[in-house]
Structures are given as structure tokens and as C-alpha cells.
């Protein structure tokens, strides 16, 4: 009776020890060290000298050796197992003698026999979780040649179930992680395709490019995204800015090409017609659910001004989102540095003068400073999006751009020195 109590106490402690060790291994319970430790713990519980853990490879239809004790290192053992045999083994978690296999598992046991006899692995215990076969535990009889008691077989069965659960769990986790990775890859590819489509659409919006260089919308998109990065905006916000840059002029599709290309001064009616394009652009794309967030609102507000004199909603100051401020800055810069139907591109001195003169009225000084930095660094090859660079390099002396922008940045860093200027029509 005393022996029985001591035995129970020992087995309870062994079960607790195994459970405690398995708690920390759920993510990698089927890797070599946790499996070896689990095998050693089970062998130690029964004073058995030799054992092996075989895991079921469902794809290869094999039981493959993953942990062993009592076998000299050599080749990894693997045993073919049919789906029917796997189902049979999954049918009962009870330990069985290798030489007395259950049901139709004779073929497997015939394969196991030479190894089992050499290693004296007399017993096998299916590792089962959720009704599925996870593997097979092979174990020798306790040292000294004693047989397992019914109690010991019960404990052995429980221990096999305990190690099967985290192994199954870690396999499911790994499969899920692989699926998540595949989904993320597919999502990235889809986004790339989406983006390429929109880049093509931006080319259509701008009209044919004669020299093959990036068109206005591509340049604005690149500069807006680079400016956003230098403002410290989140990566997804910069992506959104890029997209808004690509599509910011989509509303011009309703305006006749003749009007857009008109060399003469616009009439009041023509001016109003052109000023409709941010609102039209918003209406055209506001029903689209972009993966990058609310692009339509940025487009609607990319002609608003800090002093409330912009269009279409006459927003003021902080009513304008940071994205709209950035897009407006990028577009204004590109317009000033490009030839327009009604005027040639401005000299870079004039560009800087216009930016400086419109600070706090049209341009947010923080945004202007970030854009200056983006252009300067872009010319030094430090921009991720480079579409706006060839255009500047061709039209201006990069050294002059750098010098003037650096000077402007220095002035922007001293707000008290900034004069208030009148609104300048760009």
C-alpha cells in the first residue's frame, strides 16, 4: 500500500513535470530539443533506457524519426505509412506491443520490427490529437526487463497524449504562419499591380509624354511622398500621398483639352470651370475603396489655402489635412518648375521667391521646409521615389537648386525673419 502511494506520488510529479516543460514549447514542440526532452522525461518516468519519437509526415506519408535515445547516431529512420494505417493508429491512443499491431497496421510493424528488435523497443504508443495521427512513440520496457503494469500503461498513454497536443499545435501555427505569409505576399503583389495600373492612369490623365520622362502627376506623387517621409508621416500615409498625387488631376477629365492648353488669360467662367476639378475628382473616386485610405478627400482639398482663399471648400489653416497641404505644395512646386501653356517655367530664384512669399498663406512652412529637404536630398540620390528628379536636373542647375533651397531652409528655421507677403497667383 505504501509503495502504491509513493508510486502515485511519483507519477503525478512526473506528469506535472512533463506538463510544465511543455507549456513553454507550444510554438516549437515538434523541433528537436523539446521533442528529445519530452522523450527523455517519458523514458525517465518508467526507467526505460531506449525510445524514439516518429512524427507523421502527411504529405510524404511517412513516419519520420525526430528524437531518439539509446540509438547510436546514424541515418534518420523513416517508415512508409498508408492513409488507412494512419487512420487505424489514430483510432486508439492505447500503447501496443510492436509485434502485436492493432487492425491493419501490420505493414508498418513489419517495417519497424528490425529496428525495434535491435533497439529492444517493444512498445509503441500512437501520438494523437483531435482524432488525427501526429506520430508514434516507441519505447523499451523498463530496465531490468520488467513489464509495464496497467497503471504504467495508463500513465504512458496520458503522457503520449500530452506531448501530441503541443506538437499538433505547433504544426497548425506553422501552417497558419505560412498561409499568412502567402497572403501578405499576394496582397503586396496586388497592391503593386494596383499601383502600376494607377501610374498608367496618371499618364492618361496628364496626356501623352513626348520625351518619355515622368509626367506631371508622377512627379507630384513622388515629391509628395518624399515630402511626407521627411515630415515623419507614417509609411501608409506616404503611400496614400503617392496615390493622391497620381490621381490629383483626375477631375480635369471633364475639362476640354483646348481649355487646359489655352495660352491666353482665362476668362472668369473658364477659371471657375477649371476650379471645379478637385471637387469632380473627389466625386469620381470617392466611392472607390483604396487600400491606402481616404485618397479622395486629399484630392478634393489640394487647392485649398491656409488663408481660406482656396477652393472648392474655402478651408482655412488646420481645417486642411496635412496630406492636402503636402500635395498642394508638391503640385505648386512642379507647376512652377514646369513649362505651362500660358507661361514658361519660372527661374529657380523666382520659384524660391514664390514659396517664400506665400508662406503661412498658401504654404505651410513646415511642409515647405520638408519639401526643400526632399528636393535637395533627391538631387543627392537619397530619395526613394525619384520621378521628380530628371525633370529638375534637365531644367535647372542642380547646384543652384541646392544653394537656393538650403538658403530657404535656413530662413524657414528662423520664423521671425519671414516677411508676410501678398498672395501671388501661381
Partner 1 sequence: MSSQDKTLQIEIQESDEYAVIIPKGYLNALIGDRIDKACEQLVERGMKYLIINFGQIELINTIGISILVGIIEKVLMRHGLVYFTELGGTNREIFEVLGLQTVAMIFPTDADALAHMRNDREIYRPAIGG
d(CA 156, CA 160): 6
- Tell which one of 22, 35, 42, 250 touches partner 1 (CB under 8 A): 42
- CB closer to partner 1, 14 vs 260: 14
d(CA 186, CA 85): 37
Enumerate residues 3-32 that contact partner 1 by CB under 8 A: 3, 6-7, 10, 14, 17-18
Q: Is 328 exposed, middle or buried (0-12, 13-18, 19+ CB in 10 A)?
A: buried
User: In Å, how far are 29, 88, 90 from 104, measured between CA atoms?
Assistant: 29, 7, 12
Q: Which stretch binds partner 1 (CB under 8 A): 1-9, 190-198, 348-356, 399-407?
A: 1-9
- Tell which one of 37, 283, 313, 377 touches partner 1 (CB under 8 A): 37
CB of 155 to partner 1, least distance (A): 12
Q: Is 78 exposed, middle or buried (0-12, 13-18, 19+ CB in 10 A)?
A: middle
- CB closer to partner 1, 7 vs 338: 7
The residues pairing with 139 across neighbouring beta strands, listed in sequence order, are: 51, 123
CB of 237 to partner 1, least distance (A): 51
CB of 178 to partner 1, least distance (A): 31
d(CA 358, CA 408): 13
Rounded to the nearest 10 degrees, the angle between the axes of helix 348-357 and helix 322-336 is: 150
Q: Are 255 and 223 in contact (CB under 8 A)?
A: no
In the chain the first and final C-alpha atoms are separated, in Å, by 100
- Tell which one of 144, 212, 381, 399 touches partner 1 (CB under 8 A): 144
- CB closer to partner 1, 50 vs 252: 50
Interaction of residue 136 with partner 1, rule CB under 8 A: no
- CB closer to partner 1, 18 vs 332: 18
Enumerate residues 44-73 that contact partner 1 by CB under 8 A: 44-50, 69-70
- CB closer to partner 1, 65 vs 227: 65
CB of 46 to partner 1, least distance (A): 8
**Grid coordinates of 325:** 497641404
R_g of the chain computed on alpha carbons: 36
CB of 231 to partner 1, least distance (A): 53
d(CA 358, CA 365): 9
Q: Which stretch binds partner 1 (CB under 8 A): 38-46, 286-294, 315-323, 374-382?
A: 38-46
Residues that bind partner 1 (CB under 8 A): 3, 6-7, 10, 14, 17-18, 37, 40-50, 69-70, 142-146
Amino acid at each position: 500500500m505504501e509503495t502504491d502511494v509513493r508510486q502515485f506520488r511519483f507519477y503525478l510529479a512526473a506528469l506535472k513535470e512533463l506538463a510544465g516543460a511543455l507549456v513553454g514549447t507550444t510554438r516549437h514542440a515538434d523541433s528537436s530539443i523539446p521533442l528529445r526532452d519530452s522523450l527523455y522525461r517519458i523514458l525517465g518516468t518508467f526507467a526505460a533506457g531506449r525510445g524514439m519519437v516518429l512524427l507523421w509526415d502527411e504529405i510524404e506519408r511517412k513516419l519520420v524519426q525526430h528524437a531518439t535515445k539509446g540509438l547510436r547516431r546514424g541515418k534518420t529512420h523513416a517508415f512508409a505509412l498508408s492513409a488507412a494505417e494512419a487512420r487505424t493508429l489514430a483510432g486508439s491512443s492505447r500503447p501496443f506491443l510492436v509485434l502485436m499491431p492493432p487492425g491493419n497496421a501490420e505493414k508498418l510493424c513489419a517495417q519497424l520490427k528490425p529496428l525495434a528488435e535491435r533497439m529492444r523497443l517493444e512498445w509503441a504508443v500512437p501520438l494523437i490529437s483531435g482524432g488525427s495521427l501526429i506520430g508514434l512513440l516507441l519505447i523499451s520496457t523498463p530496465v531490468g526487463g520488467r513489464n509495464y503494469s496497467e497503471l504504467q500503461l495508463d500513465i504512458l498513454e496520458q503522457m503520449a497524449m500530452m506531448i501530441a497536443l503541443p506538437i499538433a499545435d505547433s504544426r497548425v501555427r506553422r501552417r497558419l504562419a505560412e498561409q499568412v505569409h502567402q497572403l501578405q505576399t499576394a496582397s503586396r503583389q496586388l497592391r503593386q499591380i494596383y499601383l502600376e495600373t494607377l501610374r498608367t492612369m496618371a499618364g492618361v490623365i496628364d496626356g501623352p509624354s513626348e520625351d518619355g520622362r515622368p509626367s506631371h502627376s508622377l512627379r507630384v506623387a513622388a515629391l509628395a511622398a518624399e515630402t511626407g517621409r521627411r515630415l515623419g508621416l507614417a509609411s501608409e500615409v506616404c503611400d496614400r500621398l503617392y496615390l493622391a498625387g497620381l490621381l490629383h488631376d483626375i477631375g480635369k477629365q471633364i475639362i476640354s483639352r483646348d481649355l487646359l492648353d489655352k495660352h491666353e488669360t482665362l476668362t472668369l467662367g473658364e477659371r471657375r470651370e477649371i476650379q471645379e476639378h478637385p471637387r469632380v475628382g473627389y466625386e469620381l473616386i470617392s466611392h472607390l475603396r483604396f487600400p491606402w485610405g481616404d485618397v479622395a478627400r486629399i484630392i478634393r482639398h489640394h487647392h485649398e489655402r491656409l488663408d481660406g482663399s482656396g477652393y472648392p471648400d474655402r478651408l482655412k489653416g488646420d481645417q486642411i489635412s496635412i496630406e492636402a497641404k503636402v500635395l498642394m505644395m508638391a503640385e505648386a512646386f512642379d507647376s512652377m518648375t514646369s513649362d505651362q501653356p500660358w507661361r514658361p517655367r519660372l527661374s529657380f530664384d523666382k520659384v524660391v521667391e514664390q514659396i517664400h512669399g506665400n508662406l503661412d498663406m498658401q504654404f505651410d512652412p513646415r511642409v515647405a521646409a520638408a519639401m526643400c529637404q526632399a528636393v535637395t536630398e533627391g538631387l543627392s540620390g537619397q530619395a526613394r521615389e525619384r520621378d521628380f528628379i530628371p525633370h529638375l536636373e534637365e531644367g535647372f542647375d542642380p547646384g543652384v537648386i541646392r544653394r537656393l533651397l538650403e538658403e530657404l531652409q535656413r530662413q524657414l528655421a528662423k520664423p521671425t525673419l519671414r516677411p508676410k507677403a501678398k498672395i501671388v497667383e501661381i
